[in-house]
């Protein structure tokens, strides 16, 4: 592991979160950031299907903050369930 990663891992949680968001904002993604060999043919097919579903209105996109909130709630519920089972 690189020295910089080791130093980052020593940071308090709040500072790690600040760094996470700063890096996200700094990344300059273009339309072609996925290379052809980054995904398997099956993964490309699934990605194409999902894009088509969005474009045709078959599914509706939600804002990232809403998605993140839902995922955080699910993860919290899973952890709670898992902790309950291990304490039983």
Its pTM stands at 0.43
Q: What is the pLDDT of residues 45-71, one digit of tens each?
A: 999 999 999 999 999 999 999 999 999
Which two tokens mark 27?
A: 């990344």
Cβ distance 49 to 55 under 8 Å? no
Q: Is 33 helix (H, G, I), strand (E, B) or coil?
A: coil
85 band by pLDDT with thresholds 50, 70 and 90: confident
Does the structure show a pLDDT above 80 at 4? yes
Q: Which residue has the higher pLDDT, 70 or 34?
A: 70
Burial class (CB in 10 A: 0-12, 13-18, 19+), 24: exposed
Averaged pLDDT, 1-12 = 92
Does the structure show a pLDDT above 70 at 32? no
| Per-range mean pLDDT, top range of 33-37, 49-53, 82-86 | 49-53
């Amino acid at each position: 592991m690189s020295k910089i990663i080791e130093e980052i891992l020593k940071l308090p949680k709040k500072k790690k979160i600040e760094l996470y968001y700063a890096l996200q904002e700094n990344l300059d993604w273009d339309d072609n950031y996925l290379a052809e060999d980054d995904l398997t043919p099956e993964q490309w097919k699934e990605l194409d299907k999902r894009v088509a579903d969005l474009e045709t209105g078959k599914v509706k996109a939600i804002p990232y903050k809403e998605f993140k909130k839902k995922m955080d709630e699910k993860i919290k519920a899973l952890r709670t369930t898992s902790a309950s089972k291990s304490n039983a």
